[in-house]
């Protein structure tokens, strides 16, 4: 599965600790992250992470493009709801794309834990079925 990891500045320590705790699950999947978040997680865990630009410089939009092409399976986005973000329209657009394309989106540690435990159990296999169906429809 392709998993996006994103965190606002005030949540970066949380996503690092989360990634350390769930490294045993995350390492089985292809990971993507916005710039600084990906760098910090990779340094703390040794996980291989494809890094995009930082969020304000277009990283959210790069992940959004993957969602629109059905190339992202899960988005874990530790948002800071108490701090105004200068790129809030990009954040809103990313969340809207997750809703439009039925991509599971977790915006806090509690939901992210549920996602990763479910992923480890195989609860997200439906994503593979959807991708296969869309590939067949695109090739006919």
Residues that are catalytic? 60
Calculate the CA 33 to chain-centre distance.
7
**Residue 17 DSSP symbol:** H
Look at residue 76 and give its three-state secondary structure.
strand
**How far is it, in rounded angstroms, from Cα 140 to Cα 88?**
39
**Residue 72 DSSP symbol:** -
Residues making up the chain, counted from first to last: 140
């Amino acid at each position: 599965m392709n998993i996006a990891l994103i965190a606002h500045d005030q949540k970066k320590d949380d996503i690092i600790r989360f990634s350390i705790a769930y490294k045993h699950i995350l390492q089985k999947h292809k990971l993507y992250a916005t710039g600084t978040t990906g760098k910090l997680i990779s340094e703390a865990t040794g996980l291989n992470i494809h890094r995009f630009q930082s969020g304000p410089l277009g990283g959210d939009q790069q992940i959004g493009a993957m969602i629109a092409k059905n190339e992202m399976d899960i988005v874990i986005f530790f948002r800071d709801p108490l701090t105004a973000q200068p790129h809030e329209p990009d954040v809103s657009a990313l969340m809207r794309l997750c809703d439009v394309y039925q991509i599971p989106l977790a915006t806090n540690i509690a939901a992210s834990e549920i996602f990763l435990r479910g992923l480890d159990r195989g609860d997200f296999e439906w994503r593979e079925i959807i991708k296969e169906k869309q590939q067949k429809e695109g090739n006919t």
